[in-house]
Amino acid sequence: KVAGIGLFFAILVGFLLAVIMSQAAAVEKALFPYLVTLQAIPILAVVPLIMFWWGAGQTSRVVVCILISLFPIIVNTLFGLQSAEKDMHALFTLHNANRFVRLRKLMLPAALPAIFAGLRISAGLSVIGAIVGDFFFGKGEVGLGQLIKRFSSELQGEELLTAVILSSALGVAVFLLFTWIQNKAIGNWSDRADLIS
């Protein structure tokens, strides 16, 4: 549930930022260094800030999911939108297409494989974010993170290994789910245009 909520907001924010940056080079130039910096900061370094601002409940877990899964969506979507061929842009210019028409009919279709590549990556990362968030923010419903923390502190090796394997399996399952959705949505076209996966 937490991973799904976090992924939803990461997709919403990431897609919006990518579209804005694709339409305004000045915005991309201003924002991109900060996004790279945010991605480079270890999530453990911002855990105290997250706890200070949002407490130790479910909201903080969602914030961790968003922070972890946001960057791949932005980067893949942005690079995908920018990947449309110059000749096609020239054709749209010849027909006096406005920004919205160019975005909807040229840039978005060209970006679909890259967008799905970002979704696959971010979906798996959101599961990791949910587990990390649950590990550090213990209020609310107990999840895999709290179980891993408890089994580790109580030296329950078999239970700890089971929880770790389950966490890995969950991440792989979500990744494969989005791969299946991608194949159903755009087929083999994606094989030619994955940017980062």
Give the pLDDT confidence of 19-50 residue by residue, as tens digits: 999 888 899 899 999 988 888 888 888 888 88
Q: Which two tokens stand for residue 56?
A: 């130790």
Domain boundaries, the chain: 2-192
Question: What is the pLDDT, as a whole number, of residue 146?
Answer: 64
Confidence of residue 141 (pLDDT cuts 50, 70, 90): low
Q: How many CB atoms lie within 10 A of CB 29?
A: 10
Superfamily for the 2-192 domain: MetI-like (1.10.3720.10)
Cβ atoms within 10 A of the Cβ of 42, count? 7
Locus of tokens 């990362």: 125
Give yes or no for residue 61 having a pLDDT over 90.
Answer: no
